[in-house]
Structures are given as structure tokens and as C-alpha cells.
Amino acid sequence: SDKLVALFLHDNYARKHKSSGAWMSEYRTQTKNLPPNADPMEGVPIVSNNNNFAKGQPSTLLSYNDAKTLFHEMGHGHHGMLSNANFGRLASTNVLTDFVELPSQLFEHWLSQPEVLKKHAKHFETGEPISDELLQKIKAAEKFNQGFETVEYAACALFDMAVHMIEDYDDGFDLGDFEAKQMERMGMPKGIVMRHRPTHFQHLFSSSHYAAGYYVYMWAQVLDADVFAAFEESGNVFDPDVASKARQYIYSSGNTEAPDELFRSFRGRDPDIKFLLEKLGLANN
């Protein structure tokens, strides 16, 4: 199609005074709710991806994790650019936190596909594509240490909920003691600690947005693993029919329907955790 659907900007390199991390921004959110005689261009979204890659000379080289960040933020970008809602308040990434990381984490799956890496992961001097041997190592590394990482993350998510269930704090409240008792209650293995200790757990205290909601990243993993399985089941991870459904129910709908209904419309059922467990190597195929 030659129809303009979005304007996209990317600010990829670190520089002085720039905020750290990576994020997607919207300078204008998609909408169809325009005044009479308004220029239709006013409803076209303007989306940017912002990263902090170290700019090199003569070439900028990305690590695999950098590339994963690039794909992750592009997933958010597509959520904004492909939005197709009547009202801006229901468009783009204006969805429940449970759902907002699905488009971004889903997009990460295509980075590891051999067709993508063979095309883009090339030696910066010779142009030689990544070797099959290295592709196999990357694939094998995806399941390395996942038991440890799952436990340290889940401990944070459960602690987050526990600390926000306390109704009253007195002057004698000891956060360290509360943490220790919670870890004991969970049966936390002695060799693993929380990924984020309470006193620097910014997701909990920097704003109310993620308060008691740190679990959403793992819930989004359940969703993205299940959605990507639909592509794999088609026999082609680039299947246009499955991609069209993903665009309709994941990337374009915003908050025009409840997220659980959007998932059922795409998959025909509720999410199944088995796809995430298989992806992490915590269950057999």
C-alpha cells in the first residue's frame, strides 16, 4: 500500500545530557477523531525510538543485546505506528500495562531468526554473514541460566506485591527485615538474591505506574511466547496471514477492546504458559 500510516524518527546514539536507557516516544498519537475540514495528516502518528548506542568510527557496532534492544523498541514503535483507533486516548500504547510489553517483546523473536541474522549480522569489514556455527551458539545460549534468572525476577515480582499489601507502616518498620521474612516465606534458594534489592528498586517507588505491577514483564513473556508459537505453527515465522492477524489484534487495536479478548481473537483461546516454559528450557517440548 502507498498510504501514509506514520512518521518515524530514530535517535540512536548516546550523547551528553541525554536520558539513559531506551524508550519509544510519540509526538503525535494516531486518531480519527479530527475536527471538520481538518487535514487528515493531523491524525497520522509521529513516533520515535530512542536508544543510547555508543557511536563508533568508522562504524557503529551493536552487541547482540544492543540489537535486542533495537528490536524491542521497534516493537513499541510499531504499536504506535500501526495504531488504528478512532480516539487517541484508546490508540497506540495507551493499553493496560499487562499488555503493553507484548508488542515489544514479540518483536524481539525475529532478531534470532537465521534469515534475519544472515542478512544483517555481517562482518563490518568483509561483509561476511554470521556463520552457522555462531548461530547455533546463539540459539543454545538462549536457555542458559534461565532457571536462575526466572527465580531472581519472580522474587522481585512477588516481593513487590507483598510490600504493597501492607496497609500501615510504623516508625519501627524495617524494610530489610521484611525482605528477609518474605524471602524465607517464598523459599528463596540461598544462592540467589532478588534482582533488585528493595532500597534501589526504582520500579516500585519512582512512580505509581509499576507499583505492584513489576510482574507484567513476565506475564508479557507468557503472551509473546504463545503468540510467536502461532507463527512457528504456520511453518513460516514470516507468514503473511498470521502477521495480518497480529497487526489487527496486537499492533493496531490499542485499547479499543479488552486485551484478553484481543488475545483470544488472535489465538482462539486463553494464553498457555507452556510456550514460555519451553522457550526458557524449563519444560520439554
| Selection from 256, 225, 231 nearest residue 245 by Cα | 231
pLDDT digits over 11-40, tens only? 999 999 999 999 999 999 999 999 999 999
| DSSP code, position 284 | -
Give the confidence band of 95 by pLDDT, cuts at 50, 70, 90. very high
| Selection from 149, 122, 147 nearest residue 134 by Cα | 122
The grid coordinates listed for 39 are: 487535514
In percent, the amount of the chain with pLDDT more than 70 equals 99
Q: What is the pLDDT of residue 1?
A: 65
Cα(208)–Cα(139) distance, integer angstroms? 37
Cβ contact 90:256 at 8 Å: yes
Q: What mean pLDDT comes out for the span 106-133?
A: 96
Give the confidence band of 207 by pLDDT, cuts at 50, 70, 90. confident
Per-position b or e across 81-90, b if 16+ CB within 10 A of its CB: bbbbbeebeb
Mean pLDDT computed over every residue of the chain: 94
Res. 205: pLDDT tops 80: no
Q: What is the pLDDT of residue 211?
A: 82
Query: How many Cα atoms within 13 Å fall on the side-chain side of residue 39?
Result: 3
Catalytic residue selected from 26, 73, 108, 179: 73
Q: What mean pLDDT comes out for the span 103-129?
A: 96
Cα(260)–Cα(91) distance, integer angstroms? 17
Active site residue 261: no
* Residue 223: Cβ-neighbour burial (10 angstroms; 0-12, 13-18, 19+): buried
* Residue 280: Cβ-neighbour burial (10 angstroms; 0-12, 13-18, 19+): middle
Dihedral of CA atoms 156, 157, 158, 164 in degrees, nearest 10, equals: 100
Give the confidence band of 42 by pLDDT, cuts at 50, 70, 90. very high
Cβ contact 96:259 at 8 Å: yes
Q: What's the pTM? A: 0.91
For the beta sheet containing 23-28, the strands, ordered from the edge strand earlier in sequence to the opposite edge, are 7-13, 46-53, 23-28
The grid coordinates listed for 7 are: 512518521
Q: Answer whether the bond into residue 58 is a cis peptide, omega within 30°.
A: yes
